Chain A
Amino acid sequence: MTDFDEWETVVGLEVHTELKTVTKMFCGCENIFGAEANTHVCPVCLGLPGSLPVLNVRAVELAIAIGLALNSTVSPSTFHRKNYFYPDMPKDYQISQYDQPINVGGYLDLPDGSRVTIERAHLEEDTGKSTHLGGGGRIHGADRSLVDYNRSGVPLVEIVSGPDMRSAAQARSYVSELRAILVAVGASDGRMEEGSLRIDANVSVRRRGESFGTRCEIKNLNSLRSLGRAIEYEARRQIDLIKSGARVRQETRHWDEGLAVTATMRSKEEAEDYRYFREPDLVDLVPGDSWRDAVAGSLAPLPAQRRETLATRLSDPTAAQLDAVVVVVDLGFDGFVSAALDAGVGVALALARAANELAKDPDRARKLATSSFVSVLALEEGGQLSSTQAKAVLAELLETGGDPAAIVRAKGFEQLSDDAVEEVVAAAINDHPNEWARYAAGDDKLAQFFVGEVMKRSRGRANGKAVIAELASRR
């Protein structure tokens, strides 16, 4: 019996998503990633003396959209100040929501059928971004610290789950599904590598059947991979601690990606007293029914519904195909697949190319014209492109864009004309009289031999079906 038969991991996640608004949460500065440092700042997001916040209505709409997608109750809410000192926080307090969040309760159903409860999803502002020079990249021991306030005041929604997940894999599935939902409702671009989704994981372990153990919070997990590894490491660490007779201390831990370990940041005793109180510079946020209904009416279909839609087009789906449906919808490629199906491409092919080829470079794939994807698959379906060729054309399309027909030509994938096929087949027969004799005598297996020969001679430019037809006509 392994430890994980005896022990159970318990995970709750706090996911922070940057909202894809044009401007920041409380000022008119552009909400943009990757600009030159401190070029999108103003008195408000720099917290200059005398400046005041004004709530961005679009941020509220996106928060409501998230709440609706997570089956939350959109509620009258208030803003609080969370007070603590940090150089990348210009006011030395963060405007957040505390005891009256905009979205209360809810749940998220995962593709495997499990349900994770949502405790709340509230609005808050992001901080600036610090870069610490020297001292191992942490503020303590750094020689100098530089702060970029472009991110200061970017709207965030923090989505807090219940302690409902029981494995690293389930936690990853939750984040994938949540990410797809956030993208679907237009709240987020889902770019974890740019920090638009940041995760804190609360992890504890218990022997099966026992009550919850002491949890540790692991901060700032910025990829699905880190999330999974950190949870697995932390669960292992806690199990080993308990088995050795020690106790888990409640604390905040930091995931070190390089060392692949979690390490203590601060203990519960060192936890900050944030001195929350109502933000007097903002008024209550009470979204009325009509506003909520308007947001609900404009919600795009959610991933679960889109999986359903795609799955109904599979007559007798295999498990692998259903997995591909999850991947395709998760990446937002279901539009590609549906368009290919509409154009007569087989469902297996369309799913495979979307889930495998497009998924290799999702960012570029999102910029790909649906018609380009469909025309490559149609060529493959019609036999004018081999699967290898089709994959190469798709890769080239993602890499450089452009016109599929031009790429097919440039790669020399244009197929031989019927006359040329006749010529090459004739030459192959001429060079292999014995094989031809056997084929002519009825040994169909030899057809593949001749197709291979023709492909070799034409450097893959022959249509296999046309070759077989030509062979048959000469039999």
Chain B
Amino acid sequence: MTSAAATARAVREGSVSALSVVEEALARVGQRNDQLNVFLHVDRPGALAAARRVDEAVARGEDPGPLAGVPLALKDNLCQTGVPTTAGSKILAQWRPPYSATVVERVVAAGAIVIGKTNLDEFAMGSSTENSAFGPTRNPLDPTRVPGGSSGGSAAAVAAGMVPISLGSDTGGSIRQPAALCGVVGVKPTYGSVSRYGLIAFASSLDQIGPLATNVTDAALLLEVIAGHDPRDSTSLPEGSPALMAHLDDGVAGVRVARVRELIEGADDDVVAAVDAAAAALRDGGAIVDDVSIPELRLGLSAYYLIAPAEASSNLARYDGVRYGLRVSGDDVGAMYEATRSAGFGAEVKRRIMLGTYALSAGYYDAYYGQALKVRTEMIGAFRRAYARADVLLGATAPSVAFALGARAQTPLAMYLSDVFTIPTNLAGDAAVSIPFGVGEGGMPVGVQLLGPGRSEAGLLAAGRVLERARGDS
């Protein structure tokens, strides 16, 4: 399909109308959405109206922006005024937010056309999009397999060619892992570089919105649009949006790359082979590639499964039936809370609320949540030491290629292990990208992960471009 960059260029020049681009996208959605369950909501009238506005702006000689006429999908945990926003949960099935997320305002202001809202694991809790209250999304490359998660819908929308770019959120790998499983590019930006305002919170200290795209350039283009300080998010970094496009072709000559043992160990052979091939490609590009071990990373998964549920148990308290969303009546207010939350939340969400409530409880806090915070501090230190000696860390994104629907649905721990390589970056607040590189079992794509310190997106994307070129693409 046409890249976002090429589409925007053509629409800005007036050689292609945004309306025709959007109609094509809607047609592609119509062809495959029933099979794949990618979109929970398609905003056809809204998309067509927005496309007409872009075309009118071009006709008036105005510049509609760097994403002019580019169809875009939003993970359904991003608020958009008046558009159903469910977070994949029954508890919000009927909710329409009265406001838009900062990222939504920014993509719309840049001329992008929001096509609709994509499926996700309920409240972004999961790694396969099977935890959605509205049914699983299927992998467009092999519909018997999962697309990964929790941004499975946003990854599948891009992989299926429905839209060239989409937005997801990444709390423990929820952009990168589905990007890897669907064969697209996914970026987990530095914590604080993209405003979380309007992102339905899962774990606030870990959540970060980021782009998914068919290629590195489009991902960079979208990230430039959404990044930059937002006064509505107190954890937003003070800097403006980083220059990414300008550095895309910087290459990796002289860049110190360290392949991390803990980000490969336990991965399937096809995945390990892809990482090896990526290391070789980077070396060919002029990078200095080394192997390192960062043992602290092994602690990431267990720390994450205390910190994220703890924050979630608090973030999800507000779904109580009082003000919005589902309400199931009860004899008194306590019974109403219980009935509402019992009916409204799925099993995985309940499991994490209970885990998190327990981890924060008096008498257990020090042993669980408090201990996890110490591990997090250790991990930040370990990364800092690693980045003193390397510019980019290299590893796998996920331990395997996309697995079959249902294969891990009954074994939470196996599912949690899907994120073992991505979680450390969230704990550290750093940046990482997943780049499709190589093919594994069943012809499914493999993703390799490039990790860097905070604010290293430009370098990571430039390295991603090197892999893209080595792969034989543009």
B101 and A281 contacting across the interface, CB-CB below 8 Å: no
Interface pair A52/B322, CB less than 8 Å apart: no
Bound-state CA distance A91–B322 (Å) is 11
**Cβ-defined partner of A275 (8 Å) among B85, B201, B235, B314:** B314
Q: Is B362 an interface residue (CB 8 A)?
A: yes
Contact segment of A42-50, A188-196, A237-245, A341-349? A42-50
Give chain A interface residues in 42-67, CB to chain B under 8 Å. Answer: 43, 46-55
Is B234's CB under 8 angstroms from A52's CB? yes
Q: Give min CB distance, B174 to chain A, whole Å.
A: 16
Quick one: CB contact mask for A159-186 with B, threshold 8 Å, 1 for yes? 0000000000000000000000000000
Report the count of interface residues on A (CB-CB < 8 A): 31
With A50-B199, A52-B232, A93-B314 as contacts: A277 and B95 at CB distance below 8 Å: no
Give Cα A275 to B314, complex, Å: 9
Q: Chain B residues near A87 (CB, 8 Å)?
A: 320, 322, 333
Give chain A residues whose Cβ lies under 8 Å from the Cβ of B313.
83, 275
Q: Are A51 and B197 in contact (CB under 8 A)?
A: yes
A273 at the interface (CB under 8 A from B): yes
Chain B residues 92 to 106 lying within 8 A of chain A, measured CB to CB, are 92, 95, 97-99, 101
Q: How far is the CB of B168 from chain A (nearest CB, A)?
A: 15
Among residues of B, the one whose C-beta sits closest to the C-beta of A275 is B360
Instruction: Among A53, A91, A283, point to the contact of B317 (Cβ < 8 A).
Output: A91
> Measured between alpha carbons, how far is A176 from B311 in the docked complex, in Å?
41
Chain A residues with Cβ under 8 A from B201's Cβ? 49-50, 281
Q: A91-B317, A277-B360 are in contact. Are A48 and B231 (CB under 8 A)?
A: no
Whether the Cβ atoms of B318 and A90 lie closer than 8 Å is yes
Interface residues of B in 350-394 (CB under 8 A from A): 357, 360-362, 365, 369
Q: In the complex, given contacts A83-B313, A281-B235, what are 8 additional A-B residue pairs having Cβ atoms less than 8 angstroms apart?
A: A43-B97, A48-B97, A52-B232, A53-B234, A92-B320, A139-B333, A273-B361, A275-B362
Residue in B closest to A83 when the chains form the complex, CB atoms: B314
State which residues 323-368 of B face A: CB under 8 Å. 323-324, 332-334, 337, 357, 360-362, 365
CB distance from B90 to the nearest CB of A (A): 14
Question: Does B92 contact A90, Cβ atoms closer than 8 Å?
Answer: no
Kindly list chain B residues whose C-beta atoms are within 8 Å of the C-beta of A273: 361-362
Are the C-beta atoms of B235 and A85 separated by less than 8 Å?
A: no
- List B contacts of A46 (CB < 8 A): 323
Taking the complex as formed, is A306 at the interface, i.e. its CB lies under 8 A from any CB of chain B? no
Question: Are B317 and A54 in contact, CB atoms less than 8 angstroms apart?
Answer: no
Binding site for A on B (CB under 8 A): 77-79, 85, 87, 92, 95, 97-99, 101, 196-201, 203-205, 231-235, 310-311, 313-314, 317-318, 320, 322-324, 332-334, 337, 357, 360-362, 365, 369
Q: What chain B residues lie within 8 Å of A92 (beta carbons)?
A: 317-318, 320
List, in ascending order, chain B residues with CB within 8 A of A321's CB.
none
5 A-B contacts, Cβ less than 8 Å apart?
A: A48-B324, A49-B318, A275-B313, A275-B362, A277-B360
Chain B residues with CB under 8 Å of A277's CB are 310-311, 314, 360, 365, 369
Which of B95, B232, B233 sits near A49, CB closer than 8 Å? B95
Contact assessment for A50 and B317 in the assembled complex, using a CB-CB cutoff below 8 Å: no
The residue of chain A having its C-beta at the shortest distance from the C-beta of B334 within the complex is: A85
Residues of A within 8 A of B234 (CB): 52-55, 281-283
Is the CB–CB distance between B362 and A90 below 8 Å? no
Cβ of A52 and Cβ of B360 under 8 Å apart?
no
Between A53, A92, A93, A280, the greatest number of chain B beta carbons within 10 A of the residue's beta carbon is seen for: A280
- Is the Cβ of B314 less than 8 Å from the Cβ of A85? no
In angstroms, Cα B332 to Cα A140, docked, is 7
Q: Which residues of A contact B322 (CB under 8 A)?
A: 87, 147
Chain B residues within 8 Å of A281, by CB: 201, 204, 234-235
If the complex has contacts A83-B317, A283-B235, are A50 and B333 also in contact, measured as CB distance less than 8 A?
A: no
The answer, yes or no, to whether A145 is at the interface (CB within 8 Å) is yes
The distance in angstroms between the C-alpha atoms of A50 and B87, with both chains bound, is 10
Output the residue of A46, A53, A281 with the most chain B CB within 10 A: A281
> Judging by beta carbons under 8 Å apart, are B333 and A52 in contact?
no
Interface pair A48/B98, CB less than 8 Å apart: yes
**Interchain CA distance A276-B313 in the complex, whole Å:** 12
Residue contact B92 to A49, C-beta cutoff 8 Å = yes
- 252-307 of chain A: CB within 8 A of chain B: 273, 275-277, 280-283
A85 with B233: in contact, given A50-B201, A275-B360, A277-B360 (CB under 8 Å)? Answer: no
Minimum Cβ distance to chain B for residue A450 (Å): 76
Q: How far does the Cβ of A317 sit from chain B's closest Cβ, in whole Å?
A: 52
Q: Which residue of B lies closest to A81 (CB)?
A: B314
Binary flags per residue of A436-475, CB closer than 8 Å to B gives 1, else 0: 0000000000000000000000000000000000000000
Q: Which residues of B contact A90 (CB under 8 A)?
A: 318, 323
Contacts of A50 in B (CB 8 A): 77-79, 97, 101, 196-201
- Tell me which residues across on chain B come within 8 A of A283, comparing CB atoms: 234-235
Q: A54-B231, A85-B320, A92-B320 are in contact. Are A280 and B362 (CB under 8 A)?
A: no
Contacts of B334 in A (CB 8 A): 85
